[in-house]
Amino acid sequence: MDRFEAVARAAVAEAGQRLRAAWRRSKVIQYKGAINLVTETDQELEALIVGHLRYAFPDHRIVAEEGATGAAEASVDDCVWYLDPLDGTTNFAHDFPQFAISLGLARHGKLVFGIVHDPIRDETFVGSDDGGATLNGEPIHVSNVADLNQALLATGFPYDRREHTDFYLDFVADFMRRAQGIRRTGSAALDLCYVACGRFDGMWEWKLSPWDIAAGACIVQHAGGRVTDFLGGPLDLFGTQTLASNGLIHATMTDVLRARVSPPA
How far does CA 174 lie from the centroid of its chain?
A: 23
Q: Note whether 252 and 148 are within 8 A (CB).
A: yes
**Exposed / middle / buried, residue 3 (Cβ in 10 Å: 0-12, 13-18, 19+):** exposed
Question: Phi and psi (nearest 5°) for 22?
Answer: -90, -20
Residues of the chain with CATH 3.30.540.10: 2-139
Banded model confidence at residue 69, pLDDT cuts 50, 70, 90: very low
pLDDT at 29: 67
CA–CA gap between residue 225 and residue 205 (Å, rounded): 16
**pLDDT in the model for residue 161:** 55
Architecture of domain 2-139: 2-Layer Sandwich (3.30)
Contact 225, 216 (CB under 8 A): no
Q: Examine the pLDDT at 35 and tell me if it is beyond 80.
A: no
Helix (H) or strand (E) holding 99: none
pLDDT of residue 74: 45
Q: What is the per-residue pLDDT for 84?
A: 95
* pLDDT over 70 (residue 66): no
Q: Are β-strands 152-155 and 202-206 bridged in parallel, bridged antiparallel, or unpaired? A: parallel
* DSSP symbol at 9: H
Confidence check: pLDDT of 164 > 90: no
Q: What is the pLDDT of residue 23?
A: 84
What's the per-residue H, E or C state across 31-69?
ECCCCCEEEHHHHHHHHHHHHHHHHHCCCCEEEECCCCC
CB 215 within 8 A of CB 189: yes
Which pLDDT tens digit goes with each residue over 200-229? 999 999 999 999 999 999 999 999 999 999
Q: For residue 32, what pLDDT is reported?
A: 59
Backbone φ/ψ region at 172: left (φ over 0), alpha (ψ -120 to 50), beta: alpha
On whether the pTM is more than 0.95, the answer is no
**pLDDT score of 71:** 42
Helix (H) or strand (E) holding 204: strand 202-206
Q: How confident is the model at residue 176 (pLDDT cuts 50, 70, 90)?
A: very high
Instruction: Single out the residue of 49, 103, 92 nearest to residue 218, CA to CA.
Output: 103
User: CA gyration radius for the chain?
Assistant: 17
Region(s) of the chain under CATH 3.40.190.80? 148-258
Among the CATH numbers 3.30.2020.30, 3.40.50.1980, 3.40.190.80, 3.30.420.40, which is that of 148-258?
A: 3.40.190.80
Mean pLDDT confidence for 23-48: 73
Q: Give the mean pLDDT of 171-183.
A: 96
